[in-house]
Amino acid sequence: MNYYSLHHKSPNTSFKNAVIQGLAKDRGIYFPENITPLSKDFIANITEYTNHEIAYEAIKQFVGDEIPTEKLKEIIKETISFDFPLVKVDDNIASLELFHGPTMAFKDVGAKFMAQCLAYFNKDNEEEVTVLVATSGDTGGAVANGFLGAKGVNVVILYPSGKVSNVQEKQLTTLGQNITALEVDGVFDDCQEMVKTAFLDEDIKRTLTSANSINIARWLPQMFYFFFAYKELQKTNKELVFSVPSGNFGNICAGIMAQKLGLPIKHFVASTNINDTVPNYLVAGVYSPKPSKATISNAMDVGNPSNFIRIRELFNNDLEALKSAFSSYSFSDEETRETMKKIYGDSGYVADPHGAVGYLGLKKYNLQANEFGVFLETAHPVKFLDVVEETLPVKVAIPVQIQKVINNKKVAIKVASYEDLKAFLMK
């Protein structure tokens, strides 16, 4: 399988090179040359397969022969070593919990898969690779955990100062070893722009790659849990609507990829906070990125989502075709808090702010009698402890994954500009 840049000014490249490069030389993100739907028999009989077998079928065409079959299956086994339960919270709505991995966020899947792929490609290479990643919250912790102690790999995480939760900050600033955290005076979009600029800076002699969802090995594995949810919900005999809390839009883009592979999903809802670039685009037909604003659902505080260009490509840049299968709605912090209260009051379910935004998206979409809605609960409520405990009459127990880091000392380097980042990378 080869990949092309969505800016169309760089040569096509292999899976391996796309993973290692992260971003094409023309600053475009990579996209697969072909998407071949899975067999109808496989989809119809999906309940007969294990999650490991399903994941292998979903991803193998995108890897091709660049990782041997048995090694790829080993990588998948390591990647999805935890559960993805569905929890019913309403008559026709369930939460798909994606927070049962090592850092308690959905990004554990992509981070673990990418780390394993990069380790395989780098096994005979004496040159060190620097993984450069921007985070609005959960990406940093997942990447840090996934690459911790990896031979020949240094990880540099940029995060916006004061705009991630305490737990998220501890997860990315306390591990040490080959993980370095840079605390940026700015917002997530500033961090992301610094990362993209560094890739094209010829003065920097390090081998750089990205572990954001711009990297295909971070993005594509997120298809897996849409397949797992379909496997569990096939018995409902209802059409499925997925609402995905969306910031950089990699997660929902992976869901649409699963749909293109043949998964019978009726509709996607991209649920956002007040960072409403995509909802506005669907209304006005003009894509106008803008600076992000801070909210209580900070992992979605993105004003220029990198993966939306992939979503447009999946629909051949046809706005009407996109709108037929995809909606996007924006919600305020006040609406988010009220919804957290409603979900808890109605069902006793504790949703984090991102999950509550996903639930709101399903309500705004207005499910019909023949439809069943799934919202993605992308992180454990403990990741947003202050917001959850201020909003709901609950005391959130601290899971063991968080206990390991919560009392550790933060270590981060202050960064105010791209020149600061460049100076660090050129040491």
What is the set of active-site residues?
A: 107
Under a CB-based contact definition with an 8 Å cutoff, are residues 163 and 298 in contact?
A: yes
Distance of CA 417 to the CA centre of its chain: 26
Other C-beta atoms lying within 10 Å of the C-beta of residue 410: 12
CA distances from residue 145 to 81, 122, 210 in whole angstroms, order as listed: 14, 18, 15
To 10 degrees, the CA torsion angle through 219, 243, 76, 11?
Answer: -20
- In this structure, what are the phi and psi dihedrals at residue 83, rounded to the nearest 5 degrees? -90, 160
CA distance 9 to 231: 40
- Scanning the structure block, which residue is given the tokens 């940093």? 140
**Closest of 275, 398, 273, 382 to residue 336, by C-alpha:** 273
CA distances from 155 to 58, 128, 172, 292 (A): 28, 11, 10, 25
Look at the chain and count its residues. Answer: 427
Sign for the CA dihedral angle at 414, 189, 246, 64 comes to: negative
Q: How far is it, in rounded angstroms, from Cα 353 to Cα 340?
A: 7
**CA-wise closest residue to 425 among 125, 228, 195:** 195
Alpha carbon of residue 331 to chain centroid: 20
For the chain, what is the largest distance between any 2 Cα atoms, rounded to a whole number of angstroms? Answer: 61
Token pair of 345 as six digits: 């009051």
d(CA 349, CA 89): 7
Q: Which amino acid is at 197?
A: T
